[in-house]
Amino acid sequence: MGILTSLIIGLIVGAVAKFLMPGKDPGGCLITCLLGIAGGALGTYLGKAMGLYEIGEPAGFIGAVLGAMLLLLLYRLIFAKKQ
């Protein structure tokens, strides 16, 4: 899989993660997309390392979304404005 394909899938993963975790984010759309790319890579790597699935399997997309949701949650917890 090429880098461009991975980036596009990461953007899709970021959008799905944002859809599943609605709410106000401290960053904008760009930050959410970057977190989607990083979370997708993280979820895919961890799932493959644990032997849950191989790259290209549909379960990998679910793992990528879960990784992106985890990073989005951590980002919200760390950078949320204190009220």
Each domain of the chain, given as residue ranges in start order, spans: 3-78
Q: How far is 13 from 82, CA to CA, in rounded Å?
A: 28
Note the pTM of the prediction, 2 decimals.
0.78
Q: What is the mean pLDDT of residues 2-24?
A: 79
Q: Enter the tokens of residue 38.
A: 């990083």
How does the average pLDDT of the chain come out, rounded? 79
pLDDT above 70 covers what percent of the chain? Answer: 92
CA atoms of 16 and 48, how far apart (whole Å): 21
Contact 69, 21 (CB under 8 A): yes
Phi (first) and psi of residue 51, to 5 degrees: 80, 20
Read off the pLDDT of each residue in 37-42 and give the average, rounded to a whole number: 81
